[in-house]
């Protein structure tokens, strides 16, 4: 009976007993609680009887299930025995047939020796000889096989079950299938028993974690390399993963309205010569590089000045312009006077020096390296990543925040600027800018960001960052031929590093100049007086730097005479 039905019957019997007990107790004049006690006793008796019947029914059902299970197990056992007998009979028939075939081709002695050890097959590494193939072809008809893999240091044994092949398959097909199974089993076994040597070999064959190599160059290197193209319109720079770090930094510059150019690596002072000269510390990385690499880029300008006659051979010999500086011998101050010139078509072609061409050449080499896996293996992933990264690098360099507007700003009048490393330096560089020609160096020291809306700069930097992160995620999915990606990234890193530290001429930096004169005397004061005589106000502007104290009476007289000779009255310190 179901549980609800049983409960209904029990409740009905309880109610009937309680009513009967109440009627009997009321008729005899007894109290009602005695009647209820009698009813409870009747209910307990009925409940115990019901539980006994339920237990008997459960035991009966359990016995029926056990009988059904025994009958089913018996049928399965009989079926398994029947299949085993059939398999054994079929294996015996195939064994006899294969034995006859093998004896027919190889001889009875070899066959008897084979079947004496029919469960052992020797496989040396994965190289199988013709005799091994014949042995495996015979042994594949047995159910269990034990493959012994002999290595240089140990011997490992494991077994496997050969899948039954259709009888219509040719011996060649059966042999190939079986050898394929053996090779897969051996490869799986070796994968499970890897050693440190295997890990090193696989890592050097196909590196899995290449980001530690690709991200060696940081954003500071890219920033300095881009600073080399501050005044250039087209900035060829090779693709490397240092651009990812630079994209984060560039977004910070745009959001915080910070200085995008790096700090100068050669501290110097810039003065503007006028009736009231100004002196300020240089904040331009570009001008610092001009001062640091002056000995490099001044040599071709000196040769040009000698060739054109602006400097005589005698002056070059006196100033030792074509000789390396002699250490240990104190010399006076040398002042190189340069003049900005109008760039012509010839100057434009010559301004593209080897650091400029290195970006284009490296880009072509990178694309060639990335095309190798596409041509050999038909895998285009590395070529697509390299092409996309190159396009993104050129676009980021173009919209990096360095603008050529500096070339056309602040050109309203004539100005004279002097760059020097301060008191104690033996070289000062004077730049003369005529009206409409040249660059305002004083403005160049103060510029930080290009003009325009800050919101547009933030949006452009954010879009660039999203594309670079997406490219980085795409590269993380490479699993094969990663050495080509490492080679592409290494080429880009080397080009960025070389460009960041390469010395460049003013023409290549976007400021074509020519050497006009060189002033240099054993005493600094005499050099400043000579400079003032040739370039008015230039020597006077350097007096607070090279002679910070009070002048001697004799020096004051020389300066007053020079001032009166120029037709002006100045306040000589």
Asked whether the beta carbons of 223 and 249 are under 8 A apart, the reply is yes
Torsion of CA 429, 435, 437, 438, to 10 degrees: 40
The sign one gets for the Cα dihedral 427, 432, 438, 440 is positive
| pTM of the predicted model as reported, rounded to 2 decimal places | 0.60
Residues 6+ apart with CB under 8 A from 486: 207, 210, 213, 214
pLDDT at 5: 60
Q: How many CB atoms lie within 10 A of CB 316?
A: 17
Closest Cα to residue 14, out of 4, 22, 25? 22
DSSP string, 456-494: HHHHHHHHHHHHHHHHHHHHTT--S-HHHHHHHHHHHHH
Predicted confidence at residue 490, as pLDDT, reads 86
pLDDT for res 363: 94
pLDDT at 429: 93
Tell me how far apart the alpha carbons of residues 279 and 544 are, in angstroms, rounded to a whole number: 9
What stretches of 274-400 show up as alpha helix (H) in DSSP? 285-292, 294-308, 313-319, 345-350, 354-377, 381-398
Question: What pLDDT shows up at residue 326?
Answer: 45
Separation CA 384–CA 372 (nearest Å) = 12
Q: What is the pLDDT of residue 100?
A: 59
Residue 241's Cβ-count burial label (10 Å; 0-12, 13-18, 19+) is: buried
Contact between residue 548 and residue 279 where contact means Cβ atoms under 8 Å apart: no
pLDDT at 158: 39
- Written as six digits, the tokens of 297 are 């880029």
H or E segment to which residue 272 belongs: strand 269-273
- Backbone CA torsion sign across 34, 35, 36, 40: positive
Q: Could you count the other beta carbons within 10 Å of the beta carbon of residue 234? A: 13
- The count of other CB atoms within 10 Å of the CB of residue 35 is 21
Residue 294 and residue 292: Cα distance in Å, rounded?
A: 6
Q: What is the pLDDT of residue 388?
A: 92
Q: DSSP secondary-structure letter at 166?
A: P
> Would you state the pLDDT for residue 352?
77
The whole-number mean pLDDT for each consecutive block of 10 residues of the chain, a chain of 573 residues, reads: 57 66 55 61 70 79 83 83 83 66 44 37 42 47 42 40 47 71 70 62 64 67 86 85 86 75 86 85 88 88 83 64 47 86 58 85 94 89 92 87 50 82 88 84 68 76 89 81 85 91 87 88 87 87 85 82 65 54
The SS3 assignment for 148 reads strand
Residue 214, pLDDT score: 64
Identify the bridge partners of residue 337 per DSSP, sorted by sequence position: 430, 517
Q: What are the structure tokens assigned to 52, written together?
A: 């006994």
| Residue 247 DSSP SS3 | helix
């Amino acid at each position: 009976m179901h549980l609800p039905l049983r409960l209904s019957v029990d409740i009905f019997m309880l109610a009937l007993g309680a009513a009967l007990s109440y009627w009997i107790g009321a008729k005899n004049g007894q109290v009602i609680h005695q009647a209820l006690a009698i009813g409870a006793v009747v209910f307990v008796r009925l409940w115990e009887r019901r539980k006994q019947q339920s237990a008997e029914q459960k035991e009966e059902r359990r016995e029926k299930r056990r009988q059904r299970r025994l009958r089913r197990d018996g049928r399965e056992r009989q079926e398994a025995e029947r299949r085993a007998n059939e398999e054994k009979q079929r294996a015996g028939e195939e064994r006899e047939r294969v034995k006859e075939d093998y004896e027919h081709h190889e001889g009875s002695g070899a066959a008897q020796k084979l079947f004496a050890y029919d469960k052992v097959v020797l496989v040396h590494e994965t190289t199988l000889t013709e005799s091994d193939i014949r042995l495996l072809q015979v042994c594949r008809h047995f159910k269990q096989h034990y493959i012994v893999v002999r290595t240089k240091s140990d011997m490992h044994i494991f077994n496997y079950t050969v899948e039954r092949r259709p009888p219509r398959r040719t011996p060649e097909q059966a042999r190939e299938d079986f050898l394929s199974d053996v090779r897969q089993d051996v490869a799986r076994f070796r994968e499970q028993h890897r050693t440190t040597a295997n890990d090193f070999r696989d890592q050097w064959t196909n590196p899995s974690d290449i980001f530690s190599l690709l991200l060696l160059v940081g954003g500071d290197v890219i920033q300095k390399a881009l600073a080399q193209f501050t005044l250039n319109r087209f900035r060829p720079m090779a693709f490397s993963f240092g651009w990812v770090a630079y994209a984060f930094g560039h977004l910070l510059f745009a959001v915080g309205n910070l200085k995008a150019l790096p700090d100068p690596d050669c501290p110097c002072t810039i003065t503007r010569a006028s009736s009231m000269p100004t002196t300020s510390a240089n904040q331009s990385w570009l001008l610092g590089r001009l001062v640091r690499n002056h000995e490099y880029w001044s040599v071709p300008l000196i040769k040009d000045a000698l060739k054109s006659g602006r400097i005589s051979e005698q002056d070059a010999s006196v100033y030792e312009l074509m000789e390396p500086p002699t250490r240990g011998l104190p010399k006076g101050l040398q002042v190189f006077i340069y003049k900005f010139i109008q760039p012509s078509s010839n100057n434009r072609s010559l301004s593209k020096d080897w650091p400029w061409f290195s970006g284009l050449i490296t880009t072509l080499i990178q694309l060639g390296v990335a095309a190798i896996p596409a041509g050999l293996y038909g895998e285009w992933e590395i070529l697509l990543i390299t092409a996309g990264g190159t396009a993104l690098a050129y676009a980021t360099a173009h919209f990096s925040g360095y603008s050529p507007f500096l070339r056309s700003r602040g050109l309203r009048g004539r100005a004279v600027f002097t760059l020097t490393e301060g008191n104690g330096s033996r070289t000062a560089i004077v730049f003369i800018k005529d009206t409409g020609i040249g660059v305002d160096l004083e403005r160049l020291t103060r510029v930080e960001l290009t003009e325009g809306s800050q919101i547009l700069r933030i949006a452009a930097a954010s879009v660039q960052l999203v594309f670079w992160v997406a490219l980085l995620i795409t590269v993380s999915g490479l699993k094969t031929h990663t050495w080509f990606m490492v080679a592409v990234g290494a080429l880009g890193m080397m080009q960025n590093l070389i460009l960041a530290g390469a010395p460049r001429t003013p023409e290549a930096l976007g400021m074509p100049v020519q050497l006009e004169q060189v002033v240099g005397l054993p005493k600094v004061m005499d050099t400043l007086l000579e400079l003032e005589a040739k370039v008015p106000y230039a020597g006077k502007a350097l007096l607070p730097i090279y002679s910070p104290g009070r002048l001697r009476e004799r020096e004051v007289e020389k300066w007053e005479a020079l001032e009166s000779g120029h037709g002006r009255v100045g306040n000589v310190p």
